[in-house]
């Protein structure tokens, strides 16, 4: 399978701090990949560079052969770790906004998921709890028919029951050629849906392997391997 995202020799420094140190990897299509690492390991920096929100210090990235830019943004659906939507907007207004902005946005899918999670589209974001806001953002991101979904901490603020629904939404709603990159600390919640994991440590990729290999060869869960690799 040809690669969806190709990263080569990527370095990012902030002053004299190295956030990413000459990393190279490829993401194929049709996989769910966990991007795991302790705080400050470079996960969000890497994600922001892939999404074109930060410029790399050096190195090259391509998405389906194109450099980061208009073409790459068309096929990447990104869930940031912060809120960026207007607080006084209603969900309905935001959906219209997304429909205008992204040609791959599937409105009916968004309303369907909102209904299942019991969220009223007429509600304004500012009246919602933190967890509900997170659900809305994730619904918007997953309602695009993108090729690469990048989810930065998608389930951190939601309750366990909604977490199960969201993970189920992720595995049932994505196109089989699309890839999902999930950054999270809640490893035990997501590990059964992952195909592969990337372990990031101080700006280096220390492991990129399939999770069934971790279980089969090492007889460990991803969660316990993580605790072992990153023992403090």
Q: Which residues bind another protein (CB under 8 A)?
A: 30-32, 164, 167-168, 171-172, 176, 188, 191-195, 211-212, 215-216, 219-224
> In whole angstroms, how close is the CB of 173 to another protein at the nearest point?
10
Q: Which among 14, 23, 90, 15 has a CA at the least distance from the CA of 50?
A: 23
Task: Name which of 15 and 216 has its Cβ closer to another protein.
Answer: 216
Q: Token pair of 139, please? A: 């619904």
Are 173 and 161 in contact, with CB atoms under 8 Å apart? no
Task: Name which of 129 and 188 has its Cβ closer to another protein.
Answer: 188
> In whole angstroms, how close is the CB of 211 to another protein at the nearest point?
8
Task: Name which of 31 and 99 has its Cβ closer to another protein.
Answer: 31
Element holding 199 (H helix, E strand): strand 196-201
Task: Name which of 4 and 10 has its Cβ closer to another protein.
Answer: 4
Report the alpha-carbon distance of residue 219 to residue 232 in Å, rounded.
22
> In whole angstroms, how close is the CB of 11 to another protein at the nearest point?
32
Task: Name which of 28 and 52 has its Cβ closer to another protein.
Answer: 28
Q: Token pair of 213, please? A: 């290999």
Are 63 and 72 in contact, with CB atoms under 8 Å apart? yes
Maximum CA pair distance of the chain? Answer: 51
Torsion region of 155: left, alpha or beta (phi above 0 gives left; psi -120 to 50 gives alpha)? alpha
> In whole angstroms, how close is the CB of 180 to another protein at the nearest point?
10
Beta bridge pairs of residue 179: 148
Alpha-carbon Rg for the chain in angstroms: 18
> In whole angstroms, how close is the CB of 71 to another protein at the nearest point?
27
Task: Name which of 126 and 220 has its Cβ closer to another protein.
Answer: 220
> In whole angstroms, how close is the CB of 222 to another protein at the nearest point?
7
Given CA atoms 39, 60, 64, 205 in this order, what sign does their dihedral have?
Answer: negative
Question: What does 153-182 look like in DSSP terms, one character per residue?
Answer: STTTTS-HHHHHHHHHHHHHHS-TT-EEEE
């Amino acid at each position: 399978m040809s690669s969806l995202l190709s990263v080569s020799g990527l370095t990012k420094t902030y002053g004299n701090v190295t956030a990413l140190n000459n990393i190279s990897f490829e993401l194929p299509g049709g996989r769910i990949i966990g991007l795991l690492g302790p705080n400050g390991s470079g996960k969000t920096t890497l994600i922001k560079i892939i999404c074109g929100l930060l410029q790399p210090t050096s190195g090259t990235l391509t998405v389906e052969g194109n450099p980061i830019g208009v073409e790459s943004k068309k096929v990447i659906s990104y869930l940031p770790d912060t809120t960026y939507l207007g607080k006084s907007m209603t969900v309905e207004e935001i959906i219209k906004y997304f429909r205008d902005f992204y040609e791959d946005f599937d409105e009916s899918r968004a309303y369907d998921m909102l209904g299942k999670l019991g969220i009223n589209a007429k509600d304004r974001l500012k009246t919602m709890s933190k967890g509900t806001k997170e659900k809305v953002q994730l619904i918007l991101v997953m309602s695009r028919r993108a090729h690469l979904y990048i989810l930065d901490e998608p389930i951190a603020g939601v309750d366990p029951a909604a977490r199960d629904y969201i993970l189920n939404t992720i595995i049932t709603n994505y196109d089989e050629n699309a890839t999902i990159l999930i950054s999270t600390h809640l490893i035990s919640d997501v590990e059964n849906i992952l195909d592969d994991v990337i372990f990031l440590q101080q700006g280096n990729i220390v492991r990129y392997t399939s999770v069934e290999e971790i279980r089969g060869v090492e007889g460990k869960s991803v969660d316990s391997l993580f605790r072992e690799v990153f023992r403090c």
